[in-house]
Structure 1
Amino acid sequence: MNLEDEIIEINQSENRRAHIYAMLGKMKQYDLTAVKIEGRRIWVDEDHSVIDFASCNYLGLDLDEEMQNDIRGEIVKWGVHPSWCRLVASPAIYQQIENQLATLIGVESTLIFPTVTLISIGVLLALVGRGGVLILDKSGHETMYEAAKIARDSGATLLSFPQNDLETLELHLQKHQNNKRKVIMIDGVYSMSGDFARVPAIVALAKKYDAIVYIDDAHGFGVVGENPTSAMPYGQRGNGIVRYYGLDYENIIYVGGCSKAYSSLAAFVGCSKKMQSFIKGFSTPYDLSGPCPTASLATLAKGLVINEHRGNQYREKLFALTHKCINGLRSMGFEVINQSWFPIIFVRIGDNQDTIETANLLFEKGILVTVSPYPMVVIGQEGHRITLTAANTPEEVEELLACFQNIRDYLINKHSNNAIYET
């Protein structure tokens, strides 16, 4: 056995992700190569296509003709890639977009990074330094946890609390109330369930104990926004979970992702001007990581214009498709983990083996979903995550539901004494 083989074997024996590694050869829904797309239909070879319910391009801007036709000017102006790190120089389009984003979400300033992951690595470490306290919602995104572990290794304290367990959160805050550097880390919209964090209650606790709330709204930004109504359940303008709840940004560091609703490689921090300046000086990814490609900046700039003109129409369609999908799945007896009607729909299936088998059935019948086995989710909660976009059609949702009827029948036949899937 050579050294590489030994390293792989050792890591398989001690890392939970070995379960995922082992599935790569068993699942048709993993590691695909798209050779052609037609709308939300993906061709994986010349003979087989699947309808895409695994994309997070919620507003469908990746396929918007106006978006595709109008970005060339910025590429001609700035070249395909501004290869300075941002500490050296930034094309003026950065400042233009940062001002637009600040106006949209209602904050003093924003600062763009390539990804939410880089923001977490840079900003969380900058906020807590070597002696601060990080308190992580256990349902928060894995990338926040990875960033928090780096901060812990640098001397910070890392604690956690179960989703919605405000009593445990308050106990942590009480214990460390004299530490001035306390940061509570939450998702705005949970990436597996689509449910919303209890932001107002968490912010109230943060103010009581002088803590900062760091909100990763990678999924919420662009979909949820201010002034939700029965006619517009997601709210208006897609300006994020903070505005959805009608809050200001006191005690909040807001992180918006643009790779989802805006189909662009970019993310941003919303904060005060003083905090923006601090982040520039103390966040390593700001001065050492590569910048966003010009095409991504151009698509984001154009997406912000489209959002002002047509964004609410896209959100209305997105809600209608999500409503149709969730109601259809629940009518079959599936357990759907979604209380918000956000276009992330998690369907519990069974154990890892059931999840693998049903994923392969879906693929064979032309449906692509995000397969979520252990350790992506807790043992006993394995299943499939469906994500809808405004570029999907009602007919495609009907095909999805028909395929889930097939896997419902398959599971009933396999587990004849299990009543979970019976209506």
Structure 2
Amino acid sequence: VGVLAPSTLHLFHDVFRLMPANGVLLLERRLYPVGQWGSQQARLRGLPVVRFDGVANLQKLLCAYQQQGRTPWLVADGYHPGDGPAPLAQYYAALTGCLGAILLLDDTQAFGVLGQRPTAARPLGHGGGGSLAWAGLDEAATGPELLTITSLAKGLGVPVAVLAGRAARIRQFAH
């Protein structure tokens, strides 16, 4: 389920209002700048915004904030061009799922490039559905809550962006 907007900037500007008052925003340091700009909305609400590098200290951060009674929102890019496809979405989803966190991926770079069922012959998969498809994940499935913000301009040449996730969260966003 998804909702359209003119750009990822619009979506990132608005999505962080969904965070609860006890939320904490964990931002991948390499996150594309538009996502970083949107994080200012969380800061304006007085929510902690913490940057992280890679996966090394991420589990400790998530656990520490969860033990404080906070709801972590992990925000990262679904794909870093030049790094090759990596199972980060799978790792992030497993980590956030067991800790009750929300995973929000900027999937702009992966959409139209990475697809489902990668093989040795087709390491990028097929179908171009993005990093969740490549990792075999579904944002509508039970398990960890997954959200994606994707610009369709790069992968499809369509000047629109989409926020996708579970129906209840998308309804919350739309109201």
Q: Would you say same fold, with TM above 0.5?
A: yes
Q: CA deviation at 1:258?
A: 0.2
Please report how far the alpha carbon of residue 190 of structure 1 lies from its aligned counterpart in structure 2 after TM superposition: 1.9
1:58 equivalent in structure 2: none
User: Would you say 1:157 and 2:48 are equivalent positions?
Assistant: yes
Alpha-carbon RMSD across the aligned residues, in angstroms, is 1.7
Give, in angstroms, the shift of residue 180 of structure 1.
Answer: 4.8
Would the aligned equivalents of 2:111 and 2:128 in 1 still touch at CA under 8 Å? Answer: yes
Correspondence for 1:169: 58
1:121 matched residue in structure 2: 13
2:29 equivalent to 1:135: no
The answer on 1:245 being equivalent to 2:144 is: no
Cα shift at 1:164: 3.3
CA contact (8 A) 2:114 2:130 kept: yes
Separation in structure 2 between the aligned mates of residue 180 and residue 229 of structure 1, nearest angstrom: 39
Q: In the aligned structure 2, how far is the partner of 1:252 from the partner of 1:179?
A: 20
Contact persistence 1:212–1:252 (CA under 8 A) = yes
User: 2:34 & 2:9 partners in 1: Cα distance?
Assistant: 6
Provide the rounded CA distance (Å) in 1 between the counterparts of 2:79 and 2:36. Answer: 16
Residue 264 of structure 1 aligns with which residue? 158
Aligned positions of 1:411-422 closer than 5 A: none
Q: d(CA) in 2 for partners of 1:248 and 1:163?
A: 23
Whether the 8 Å contact between 1:136 and 1:186 is mirrored in structure 2 is yes
Q: Using structure 1 for the length normalisation, give the TM-score.
A: 0.38
Matched, 1:235 2:122: no
Residue in 2 aligned with 1:349? none
Which has the larger helix fraction?
1
Question: 1:397-412 counterparts in 2 under 5 A?
Answer: none
Contact 2:22 2:70 in 1 (8 A): no
Q: Deviations over 1:388-407 (max 9, x none)?
A: xxxxxxxxxxxxxxxxxxxx
Q: Which amino acid aligns with 2:48?
A: T
The match for 2:4 is 112
* Structure 2 alignment gaps of length 5 or more: none
- What does 1:362-377 correspond to in 2, within 5 Å? none
State which structure, 1 or 2, has the greater radius of gyration over its C-alpha atoms.
1
Unpaired stretches in structure 1, ≥5 consecutive residues: 1-108, 282-423
Q: Write the deviation string for residues 102-136 of structure 1: whole angstroms up to 9, x where unpaired.
A: xxxxxxx111111112111111x222244410001
1:179, distance to aligned residue in structure 2 (A): 3.2
Distance 1:119 1:265, change over 3 A: same
Alignment partners' CA distance in 1, 2:84 and 2:134? 13
Residues 147/129 of structure 1: CA separation in 2 closer, same or farther (3 Å cut): farther
**What amino acid sits opposite 1:159 in the alignment?**
V
8 A Cα contact 1:218 1:256, kept in partner: yes
Please state how far the C-alpha of 1:206 moved relative to its aligned partner: 0.4
Equivalent AA in structure 2 for residue 205 of structure 1:
L
Cα deviation, residue 280, structure 1: 0.6
213-222 or 177-186, which moves further after superposition? 177-186
2:17, 2:44 → 1: CA distance?
A: 14
Contact 1:116 1:256 in 2 (8 A): yes
TM-score normalized with structure 2 length: 0.88
Deviations 1:261-291 (A, max 9, x none): 111111101112211110011xxxxxxxxxx
Give SS of 2:154's match: coil
Counterpart CA distance in 2 for 1:204 and 1:196 is 17
Correspondence list, 1:322-361, <5 A: none
In 2: Cα distance, 1:195 partner to 1:162 partner: 18
> For the residues of structure 1 that align with 2:78 and 2:116, how far apart are their CA atoms?
14
Separation in structure 2 between the aligned mates of residue 155 and residue 205 of structure 1, nearest angstrom:
25
The aligned counterpart of 2:36 is: 145
Count of paired positions: 169
SS state at 1:228 partner: coil
Give the percent of matched residue pairs that are identical in Structure 1 and Structure 2: 23
Tell me, in whole angstroms, the C-alpha distance in 1 between the residues paired with 2:173 and 2:94: 25
Q: What is the CA deviation profile of residues 194-249 of structure 1, one whole-angstrom value per residue up to 9, with x for unaligned ones?
A: 54451111111101211001010011011111011222221111011011011232
